[in-house]
Every structure is written in C-alpha cells, then in structure tokens.
Chain A
Amino acid sequence: MTSRSTQIRDAIVDRLLAMVDVETRQPFTKVTKAQTPTLQPFDLPMAQCFVIAETLTPDGDSNAGEPNFVADATIAVSIIRGFEDPDVLDGRIDADIDAVEASLLTDPQFVRFGQGALFESVERIQRRRLFHKEGETYFAELRTEITFRYAIAFDPIIPDAFAEAHITGKTPGPAAGHVVIARPAQT
C-alpha cells in the first residue's frame, strides 16, 4: 500500500496528464514523477511532480496515548520550458503554474473532504523560479510547492494473546471472593 503522500502525488500526476497548454491547447510533451531518467530537450514543455518533504508533528500531547501525528506533505510541481524568448518563457510558465494550481484546487474530486479525502487541508503554496544559464537554449523552470496536511495514527499492535484475567473483589458480607472472570477456550 502506498503512503498518503504518494497517493496525493499520483492524483496530481493524473490531472497533469489531462491538462493542455493555455495557448496551443496541446498537452505537456512529458509528465514525469521519476527523477532518475535523464531528460531530453525534445521532452519540453514538461511537467514534473515529486514529493519533496514529509514532516510529522504530534497531534495533541506527544506523551499521551498511541502516536498520533499531523503530517505535512510538500509536493512540488515543476513546469520546464525552452526554445523561446526569455520574456515569453517567463510569462508562459507563469500561466502554466496558474493553470496547474487552478486545475487542482477547483477539482471537487481532488479537494473533497470527509470520507475518502486525500488530505484535510492545503497549508501552504510557494513558488520558485529558476532560469538555467547552461544549455542550447533558454530553459525556464517554475515550481509550485504545495503543502497538504493529513492525520496519521499508529495504533498499537498487541502481540500478547489474552489468556486469563484474575480479579479479586469483595462481596458484601464477611467473606472476600476470588473469581476468575475470563478464560480462553480449551483446545
């Protein structure tokens, strides 16, 4: 079973695959969630989606009860373009990221809360711009980092099989009783 962060990332990738360019109405040439394969210039314009950080902090008192956490998963969506005038690139990746954020946050299936929800809230959105100096053309990258919050609890797994309980009680009257109230079935 995949972690909740991975499920959120995959849900984002599904929506990126369905998106089209605002101007050309063409989909992204490549949508990837793996960092390892080397990318090629003919893959542009490209969308990447990665889980970049997961932080778990105690949900309530950290020393009471089983471990309960609030998980903040930061997932980055990067759009990379090239082969255009730098000013044009800047505007186009900005429009791309606007479209990505709008597509995700207005999708009722993605942002639904309650039963079957992927997350409880969106805590933060941060954008970073990167203009690469190296390469055969001007490459521009705009990344939006979205932090999703969800709860996770680690209920204890008790390996002891319940065998027998002895409870000593006092019955009304002069004599105290010793009563076995539970015993496993004999095999």
Chain B
Amino acid sequence: MTWFDEVERARGAWADTFARSIVVYPIQSDPGKPPVLSRGIYRERPVDVMTEDGAVLSSTTKTLDVRLSEFIVQPVAGDLVELEGARFRIDDTDDDGQGGSLWTLKEIRP
C-alpha cells in the first residue's frame, strides 16, 4: 500500500465521520451538465472585515474540504455549491497535493 493509498483511506474515514452532503453545480468546470451529489467537511472560522472607515464587520470564512477522487470532473472556482439549503459560489480551490482540496465558499442569496 502506497503513502497515497494510506492518505486516501484516512481521508475516506474522516469524510465518513464528518462530511455533509452537498450538491455541486458545475457551471464553470462542466457547463451544461447536471448537478453532482457529493460530500465535504464544512468549517467556519471567524474573521473581521474592516470597512473603509475603520468599522469592523463581523464575519466568517467558510470552507469545504473534499476528496477529489469522489469527482469525475474536478470542480473549479466559479462553480456553485448547495449545502443544507444555502447556495455558495466556490471562490477559491486549494489542492493539498494528496488527493484533497479546500474550497473557500462565498454565500450567494437569490
């Protein structure tokens, strides 16, 4: 068993425990194709956004940790993600080089 296989097995167990169901709309990565059911580990981290006038807007950074092996076409920035009724746009994808990708999400309301 290779190191990559070990990481994949560990990532799979981690996802089985903590991942939530998501729907990916591949409007950038695979335009015209139907949405894809998948899963990812959702996290929030508090962050303060400074306005031009120095006021502080309390916010969060929302991320989704996914296994790339669970996608036929790898999603890219600009694709949409639905998670528990909320709609997000993938703002950035950071691949970790070991089969995982961390997506930074931005909430878009209709």
Contact = CB atoms under 8 A, between A and B. Distances in A.
B57 A136 contact: no
Nearest to B92: A133
Query: Which bucket holds chain A's interface residue count?
Result: 20 to 34
Interface in A129-152: 130, 132, 134-139, 141, 143
A97 to B, nearest CB: 13
A41 B59 contact: yes
Contact of A84 (B55, B57, B62, B108): B108
Contacts of B59: 41, 134-137, 139
B53 interface: yes
Contacts of A139: 49, 57, 59
Given A83-B108, A85-B108, A137-B108, A40 B57 contact: yes
B54 interface: yes
Nearest to B87: A83
Nearest to B50: A132
Interface residues of B, number: 23
A84 B109 contact: yes
B57 A35 contact: no
A32 B53 CA distance: 12
B27 to A, nearest CB: 12
A119 interface: no
Interface string B71-110: 0000000000000000001010000000000000111110
A32 B57 CA distance: 13
5 contacts: A38-B56, A40-B58, A76-B53, A136-B44, A138-B106
The 6 closest A-B pairs by CB, nearest first: A135-B59, A83-B109, A137-B107, A39-B57, A35-B55, A136-B60
Given A135-B47, A137-B108, A143-B53, 18 more contacts: A38-B57, A41-B58, A48-B51, A50-B53, A78-B51, A78-B52, A78-B53, A83-B107, A83-B108, A83-B109, A135-B57, A136-B60, A137-B59, A137-B107, A138-B106, A138-B108, A139-B49, A141-B51
